[in-house]
Amino acid sequence: MIAQEIAVEVMMPCPGWRRDCADAASLADTAVRLTLESCAAPQGSVVDVTLTDDSAQQALNRIWRATDAPTNVLAFPAGSTVKIVNSDGILHNIHTYSTANPSFNMAQPKFKKVIEQKIDQPEVIKVTCDAHGWMHGWWVATDTPYYAVTDDKGNYSIANVPPGDYTVEVWQEKLGTDDQKVSVKDGTTATTNFSLKPKG
């Protein structure tokens, strides 16, 4: 049975949701009610859901995740230390899924504001919060200092690459990887475009 004595308000400030997913509001309503029922949420609870767009997500990321981009991907050269910040004062549990680096699974209570974790080996690492199933992201530890995270349009640029022949590899969490060769000439800009297709 779906809990009824819980108020769920679904807001869709972005018109794309109405256009592309006509029943988004009722799906969100049902999903929230089933979730709250499964965890025995108290009757009388009020839940607000906002189905938003990339620019609003970017603003939230800027405020809450110190990442000025609409992304859940953090890229850095291997050997870097990642600062995991608990900025909302509730219990989280940081869990990494890796093979080249040691995995870790660590509670982050509200008094533990920052956990530092060094990532020595290049690897794409899935990161979840075991306390909140919807919280997840990716760490991409690169084997090169030349890397970029695309913006919300898929654009990227990598500055100050020395002249030479390179392989540019792209990774996307749902679309996988692709790569292309590129030659960089002194004082010029080389362009590499990718078009990833869903598999299957």
Does 33 engage in binding with Cu ion (CB under 5 A)?
no
Nearest Cα neighbor of 196 from 179, 182, 151 is 179
Nearest CA among 9, 15, 14 for reference residue 28? 9
Say whether residue 129 binds Cu ion (CB under 5 A). yes
Identity of the residue, 9 or 130, whose beta carbon is nearer to Cu ion in the bound complex: 130
Distance of closest approach, residue 134 Cβ to Cu ion, in angstroms: 9
Query: Taking CB under 5 A as the rule, does residue 92 contact Cu ion?
Result: yes
Minimum distance of Cu ion from residue 116's CB (angstroms): 18
Q: How far is the CB of 112 from Cu ion (least distance, A)?
A: 13
**Joined tokens for residue 48:** 């607000």
- CA–CA separation, 94 and 74 (whole Å): 15
Three-class SS state of 76: strand
**How many residues belong to the site for Cu ion (CB under 5 A)?**
5
Task: Assess 131 for contact with Cu ion (CB under 5 A).
Answer: yes
Binding of Cu ion at residue 182 (CB under 5 A)?
Answer: no
Q: Does 115 bind Cu ion (CB under 5 A)?
A: no
CA angle 126, 127, 131 (to 5 degrees): 140
Please report where in the chains the tokens 């690169």 appear, as a residue. Answer: 142
Cβ-contact 125, 171 below 8 angstroms: no
**Window contacting Cu ion (CB under 5 A); options: 2-10, 60-68, 112-120, 121-129:** 121-129
135 binds Cu ion (CB under 5 A): yes
State the nearest-atom distance from the C-beta of 189 to Cu ion, in Å: 41
Closer Cβ to Cu ion, 95 or 175, answer by number: 95
Give me 134's structure tokens.
Answer: 């919807």
Longest pairwise C-alpha distance within the chain: 67
Provide the binding-site residues for Cu ion, judged by CB under 5 A.
Answer: 92, 129, 131-132, 135
